[in-house]
Structure 1
Amino acid sequence: MRQEEKKTITAAIAGAILFLLIQIFHTTLEGFDDGVLISALYLIAGCCNVAFGFAIFAQGWLFFSDRLSKARLYVSALFLGVCMLDFLHTLSFVGIPSISTYVSEGESMWLLTLSRFASALGILIIFSKNDKPVSVLLKGKVFRFAFLLIVLTLAIFVFSHTAASRLNSTSWMTTLKQISDLIVLFIYLTGIAVIVYPGAVEKSASLLIIIRALIFFALGQAFLMNPFSIGDTDYLFGMLCTGVAYYLILTGVYRLTIEEPFHEKQQIEERINYLAYHDELTGLPNRRRLMQRVEADIQASKQAHVQGCYSALVIMNINHFKNINDSLGHYAGDLLLQLVAQRISQEAGTDEELYSMGADEFAFFMTCRANLDECQARVIELPRLFDRPVKLESGEYHISLSLGVSIYPGDGDTAEQLIQNADTAVHNAKEHGVEIRRYMPAMQMKAKERFKLENDLRRALERDEFYLVYQPQVLLETEEIVGMEALLRWNHPKRGLVSPAEFIPIAEASGLIVPIGEWVLKMACLQNKQWQLAGYEPISVSINLSMRQFLQPNLAGTIGDILHNLDLDPCYVDLEITESMTLDKETAFEQLKRLKELGVFISIDDFGTGYSSLHYLKDMPIDRLKIDRSFVSEVMEDSNNAAIVSTITSMAHHLKLKVTAEGVENKEQLEFLRQQHCHEAQGFLFSKPIEAAEFERSFLRKAMQKLPS
């Protein structure tokens, strides 16, 4: 930016010096005032200016239509008229017979004044306001209006030319011309002042280019109205300065409306990815990144079929950390976490990585160990890192750690299992007052239990053991219910209620999720239609799609048949997908396109926990982002999560998407979401998921009672 500021200051100084030098040596230049040569050069300069003007128009009309903004659209329309006026002026000024017959040289200068007045006033208005994205539909309206304005301007010029000829008032017209030129120069200078003000705010590189363009516009205007005129040479210098200004406008508008928003979007994407996968306090990768890293290591081991290669995951918890926070304050607690992270990181060797698990927990992941003894020997070394005290501002403090260990292979087949098992082990260590505890799983019993649960799951549909519960979705402005999410529950005949976290992964892995998911779609839509027929205010029902469902080629046909058979308007159905479902971009886009053709709404659930790219997100046919509850739950305690929620909400507004926050549990979270202009929310603050009868009684009837009679 400093370099762009220097260029702008240099341009202003160089322009002033150039003008002064030409005035000083105007007598010498007068000797080179060859009319034929100057006319030829003037024609070349004028045609270049027209080309630049048309390029500015084409940039807004023909190129990057999906990234239209007010500034680029209006500048494009403005310079369509400006380049037409410049073209007529250039041809008439140099004496092209077919034009100069109707427009004299003096009248040609009026065309130039009109062109400069339009560019000066237009640039002042356009760049004195903040730029905003606009719809492609506005393009036609703007250019129709611009065309009418151009025709009107030419008509006024012709009328004025006729009237002036009749009045034969040359002196009056000359005075008016001089006043008009002064006004144009004043508007150019005003434009510079308006864009520069307030001076304390750092200007973007693109706006500095626009300021440089205005400087050259003003310099060109000074040549055109030079009281010490040396003839047509002044006009030539004026036209050359204007050409430089046109080029700068072309460059500046491109950078302001295309390049800078693109880089800003890239920065937002990088910021979201960083905040989603790193701990802001320590700078360490977080639990989500650990999940990816461990899963990748497991998959690599499975694919390589390596024998005798072990990986160990160690969850470390700082003992009595709450006492440190309470006695020394949160600042000291944060500093302690940073120092602990720093000390462990410095001692991490090859194939060892440290992660933050949030609060006072860390994860130490080591790979490529030859045997279990090597894993255990390294684990024993970790607590010894804190034999030396930790230095805080208030003194030196001895701390201790509790460690839980899970080892692959043996203690889990997935990243989630290894992390959960290590976490279970560390809590066991703290409960029993020991330093290190390795997880001891009963693998065969768990496998048998999973197999039995899968068999029971296969019969659950035909035995009518599934049912749906509904959680309201509330409009934050009014706290009125505007939708509901349908959630699946399983009432096992012997085990009672089985957690969805337990049976959904089994259904997904076995393929049972497809018929179960279709049952959920039918029942949720049927219930919504029944409530509409009962006279309740229509609201949307959100239904989660699983990965296997989403990949079904006949999914849109199945949903279309359900909606048709129930005679349910598609606008009352919101299908929720996850970011991971869009990894295969072409398949996902095609499926989403077919679903959107039905007329249903589409939301991305648990947004921020996946790995989607904003480049694809902006083109995806979706309507809503649902912020994951893991961000919302600690939004008041964790600035990292607060920043993620704020960034996602802001991005969604720019992409014209609705935002729904999940997991809202208290008024403080609700107020924070309102401040971020989040549209809707759901969570225990409003209601836990409840059965249809209770939902009808607690929400639909109350909503109807509030309606005006």
Structure 2
Amino acid sequence: MLDAAIARCLALSQRAQQESGAAQEQALSSLREALLELAAARAEAATAHSAGAEALLELDLAGYIVGWGAGAEQMFGYAEPEALGQHVLFLYAEDDDDGSIAELFFEHEQAVTEVRRRRKSGEVFWVELTLSLRRDAGGDPDGMLVRLQPPGEALSEQDKLRLHARIIEDSDQGVLITDANERIVSINGAFSRITGYSPAETIGQTPDLLRSGVHDADFRAQVRAAMKGHGPWRGEIVGKRKNGELFPQSVTISVVRDRAGQITHTFSLFSDISVHKDAEARMQRMANYDGLTGLPNLCLLSQLVDQALMEARRSQQHGALMVVEISRIGAISDTLGHEVGNELLCEIGRLFRQVLRDADVLARLDGSKFAIALLHIEKREHAAIVASKLLTALAAPIQIGGHSLQVGASIGITIYPEDGRETATLIRYAEVASSRAAQNIESAFLFYSEEMNQRAKEHLRLETELRLALVNRELQLYYQPKVSLRSGRIVGAEALLRWRHPVRGLVSPGVFIPVAEETGLILELGSWVLEEACRQVREWKDANLIMPTIAVNLSARQFDQGLPARVAAVLERHGVQPEQIMLEITESLLVRGADNVIAIMNELVAMGMALALDDFGTGYSSLAYLKKFPISTLKIDRAFVTGLPYEENDCAIARAIVTMAQQLRQEIVAEGVETAEQMSFLRELGCDQLQGYLFSQPVPAADFERMLREGKRLAFNSR
């Protein structure tokens, strides 16, 4: 049967070589069927040859033998009791010392390989090893099934040709073969599946059938050179399917030569890589674009600006890079949800894109921060014009999901190459300018300057040293007395934070408090101040000193739902009564959600604490606030005291504040009183207390204690 199958294949092969056209196609089809019959006949012959010689054994996952069949006993000479429990390595030839164990390391559910093994007699022989993974009822691997049989006979040259033909036909790669005249003489099934062209539509045509027209002359010349025998060519080509669709392909082109070295055929192997290209595009998008807004991210922005900087160096052109920090995004997300915050960011990106030119680059850096690269500008002023347009785009409320949302922005601008020649430097400088713009009352955008950079570095150094100051106990409280304008006696004091730097000496609060506010360190500083003030009050009490009320300043950042509980804990820890501590707040706090603030204030007052409004008149002064909030004391800011009693406007403002507070039954404290004339004027107005250098500057705790014990009083003088 095997001989007959081989003879039939040979006859059909000779016929296919002699025929042409449709007869040749029919002969090739018959040849393919004959090859299948030959393969089946060979398999049957091999099965008959190895009958009784096949060995089966089972291994656990560690490679120990748990099953030993009769065939294994016959093949290796070991009885079942001798083999069970042994590791499979005992069947290996002694010189198989490469460290790998074929039965344990394979990548798929089934594997076939040829290996050497050793019989009990010591004879080493070759076997064909077939491995199958065995699974338990739950689908988890629990062992291996190993089948060993004599290796198959080597294929004849004729059989190899037939086998190779079968492999090509069944390949997933498209195969295209042309003759010396570049006419297509053969394709495989994958070619038809990929391109849509049948053999009848393809045979006799040229490869231009698939030409897409997207490649230039140089590219086509490289491909043609490979077809002319100038060496194999590998690359990517955009082809065209029968339906007109373009698709990317990975292609290998080579030639076949006869014994004389002449090219008889050219063959191309190609694969459709559309799926890979799509995945690559998705990866590129993830790497270069913001996932929320779809805008370029920092990576792509850096690439584009790097290119622009190179061009600017060659052409002596100028450009600008801006960083835009959007305000209130965090508050909106916390209040209405992150979905609304995210949609708002996307809408802001769309608004900005409408303002900019097509050539301008808009990117999202992170959070609420955008960046804009103006790759070519004539003057610095042009960047300012764009910044103004961006701010105008945010001037009107933005409608998101039924909500009318208002945001602002601070913009920092750097100009290249003037401010820097590297993208990272420009972005950093623009962020510095943006941060400064956020603190600037006059303008919401600022250009970067070296002076600004130095201030930013100083800011960072201060932040680092301030953190160390907390650890190294460099902070201390000074106390500035409050004096009654009726009796002249000390009736209270304000605890003021001081930083005694080991090198710079006493650092002004006006220098480090803004840094603490901006970095969030104010929370730690505020907690320390309250803790230290209560500790000091307790120490004075233990020393039998009758103490007036001590005022402690609160930052707006400290004012949250947990504040009353934190204050109560500190008071309890030091055994201090609530009426011994007054909390001073600033007017800026009053505009942060009145309902929440009132609730917190009422809770503090219910504990027995008094609240004072500091720096009154400098911020959001409103009679409505004073009616709503449980404030017992108003402090007139020093800015309105300085001109008393000679500055008409200051006199009018001070008179109005005192009159209003008297009507609301609130105590009045004037800050920054330095002259007897100021004191007399305020006393005549009906002001209750003064605080200032006229009586005492802020002093350490020991000096304040001495004042109290000595009964220091304010001397009243006539004007």
TM-score class, shorter-chain normalisation, is 0.3 to 0.5
Q: Where is the strand percentage greater, Structure 1 or Structure 2? A: 2
TM-score (norm: length of structure 2)? 0.39
Is the helix fraction higher in 1 or 2?
Answer: 1
- When normalised by structure 1's length, the TM-score is 0.39
Larger Rg: 2
